[in-house]
Structure formats: structure tokens, C-alpha cells
Structure 1
């Protein structure tokens, strides 16, 4: 049985999670950068989180948020956050690969409502999801989206816990700052990959003869 897209990047998410837990461990212990050794911290984590449990933990953390909540985090929109909701009103005109005459000929009249746009885009995606380009972009969009979401969970959980465990305010600010930086770049990556994903689906479908 083929692995799902989420299964294909779960270990990458765990590696990011483990690195942040190792950083948290080092800061709680008051280790300086010269004293901190990644292998020491990861040895402690490995003792607590054997392979299967580590992957399960990553899945559990990731499942705390729904796909809509993750989209809200990435796009900073409460209503209609899914990128497909703006596929034809916002994204499609930005891609020179897309022939708008072909788009209108295939799917006219193009929907204007957010939910209708997402429904049409998803219908097109069902036809294109087996292609390598679409799967590649979908995987990167989902990974960056989930990475950004896990950063939010880390900020909530370890940020709150760190107030009591960190030896100094500086240590707490260092941890929060590093996680926030990761969130910023993960979110930007998710936005960019989502746009390319949306557009590639439409571009491929529009280029096919009727």
C-alpha cells in the first residue's frame, strides 16, 4: 500500500519537534552554547521517546488542529481560509502559464463565492492529483502548513511551561524567539507552496484538450 502524503513527511516533522525539545531541554538546564551538545540532549529525548512513540507523538500533536484551523494559522484569515476559496478570484490571474480563455471555456461561468470556488478547484484537483508536479507541491504545502501549526502548539505548551521552568527570562525569550522565527519561515513557505499548488492544478487541467 502506498504511503499517504502525511506519512511521507512525518519523520521530518518529528525531527523538527525533537530539535525544539532539545533546545528547550538545554535552556531549562541552563546550558550555554559551548556546553550544549545535541547528542546529549537527544540521548535524553531518545530514552523518553522511542521511535514508534515519537512518530505517534508527532501525529497526535499535529491532529490537535483541524485542517481549517491550520489554514487559518497559515493565511491569517478566519473566514474561508482554504487557498482554494480564492483560486479563481485571486490566484488564477497571477500565473502566465494559465490561458484564461481556456479556463473560461472549460468552467464558465467561473464562481465568485469562496465556497463555490473551493468546490470547483477541488473537483479539478481530483482529476490532477495523480501527477508528479501536483503531488510534489501538495506534499510541500502540507509539510510547511503542519510545521507552522506545530510551532504554534510548541509556543502555547512549552512557552507556558517555560515561564516556570526556565532559569531566566532571557532563556525564555531565546526559546520563544527561535520558535517564532521557525513559525514565520514555515508560514511563508506554506503560503508560497499553496499558491503554486493551486495554480499548477488549474494550469495542468486548462492545458488539456476538451
Structure 2
């Protein structure tokens, strides 16, 4: 099972949670009446199992990997975290032996594209390492959650803000913004940690 497949259950929970909150906000009275006649939780569970994989696939496919990186790191040019691997990130991690990396790869690159290219080469070399796999999985999950947060803000938050009832519509939109900022910050930390873990493992090998 690949890393993105492993993240599917968490992404599914995220999607269903947002749908349930929106449904509760728009149809609170209807939901209360409906709950008297049927088991709402069981119904939502069945519905979720049926549509969540398709919905998740479609939502996650709307944004490319590079676009997701832009949403996480707020850089339109060279947004991938590996683009600052040697001029910034590696200098702040005591685990990374930069001198050892220079012995292996020569002068470390400074151009963002060259940095990401060399970093990816090192990653490919160490991709089977369990620490790196776990680190990458955490970053991919946080990155996808960030992307979904933006989509929820665009396709749910803005319409509710326009047609919803005040002040609950502003409260909901504010929650979506906060949700994005939180998961975005987590993704930034996870992404930079992933980059540094690759370099730390490479520079620690004899």
C-alpha cells in the first residue's frame, strides 16, 4: 500500500466531518425532525462509506502537487520544500553534517531548482528508510488536508458567507480560515522536517 493510500482514512474523516458540520448549520430544524424518524448517525455512516471515496478522489484531484505546495509554503516560484534544502533548512538542523554532504556531492547548490534536484536524488537513494517513509507520509497527509481546507473555503465557505444567516455564516467562514491556517502550519513543519530527515540520514551514513 502506497503512502497516499494509507492517508485515505484520515482524509475521509476530514471530508465527512466538514459535510456534517455544514449540514447541521444549514438544516438544524430538519435534522432534529429527521432524527426522530430514522437513525441519522447510521444513515450518515452508510452514506459516507458510499460517496466518500469518490468525493475524496475528485476533490484531491482538483489540485496538482505543485499547486498544493504553493498553498502550503506560500511561494509561487519553486514552492517545494526541497528548493531551500541547502541554503536554509539544513543549516538549522544539528543532525545534518553539511561537511559530509559536501564530501559526497561537492559544492552544495544555491539555486532553488538545483537544490530540489539534488535533494530529490538523495531522497531516492534513501526512500526505503522507515523514518523517511513515515516523515513523507505525515507531510503528504498534512499537505492534502491543506488543499482540502482551501477547497472547502472556496466551495462551501464563500457560498455560506453570501447566502447564509448572520452571524453564523461569518462564524463558519472564520472556522474554515482557522482550519486552513492550522493544517497549513502543520504541513510546513512536516515538509521541512521531511527534507531534513532525508539529509540527516544521508549525512550520518559511514
Instruction: Report the CA distance between 1:50 and its aligned residue.
Output: 4.6
Instruction: Report the CA distance between 1:41 and its aligned residue.
Output: 6.1
Query: TM-score, with normalisation over the residues of structure 1?
Result: 0.88
Residue deviations 1:47-72, cap 9 Å, x none? 5x452531121121011000111000
Q: Does the CA contact (< 8 Å) of 1:137 and 1:193 recur in 2?
A: yes
Out of 171, 175, 179, the position equivalent to 1:174 is: 171
Residue deviations 1:25-51, cap 9 Å, x none? 1111146xx99x9x976555445x452
Query: TM-score, with normalisation over the residues of structure 2?
Result: 0.90
SS at match of 1:89: coil
Instruction: Report the CA distance between 1:14 and its aligned residue.
Output: 1.1
Q: Does the CA contact (< 8 Å) of 1:140 and 1:193 recur in 2?
A: yes
Structure 1: distance between partners of 2:13 and 2:75:
29
SS at match of 1:169: coil
Q: Does the CA contact (< 8 Å) of 1:10 and 1:59 recur in 2?
A: no
Counterpart in 1 of 2:22? 24
Distance 1:140 1:40, change over 3 A: farther
Residue deviations 1:3-41, cap 9 Å, x none? 11111011111101111111111111146xx99x9x976
Counterpart in 1 of 2:78? 80
Residue deviations 1:74-126, cap 9 Å, x none? 01111110001111111011110111210111111211111111010000000
Distance 1:61 1:153, change over 3 A: same
Structure 1: distance between partners of 2:53 and 2:44:
13
Structure 1: distance between partners of 2:7 and 2:45:
20
**Alignment gaps of 5+ in structure 2:** none
Matched pairs, number = 201
SS at match of 1:97: coil
Counterpart in 1 of 2:180? 183
Structure 2: distance between partners of 1:62 and 1:72:
15
Counterpart in 2 of 1:9? 7
Structure 1: distance between partners of 2:202 and 2:89:
15
Q: Following superposition, which runs of at least 4 residues in structure 1 exceed 3 angstroms of deviation?
A: 39-47
Instruction: Report the CA distance between 1:164 and its aligned residue.
Output: 5.5
- In the alignment, does 2:195 pair up with 1:204? no
Distance 1:41 1:172, change over 3 A: farther
Q: Does the CA contact (< 8 Å) of 1:18 and 1:42 recur in 2?
A: no
Residues 92-103 of structure 1 mapped to structure 2, 5 A cutoff: 92-103=90-101
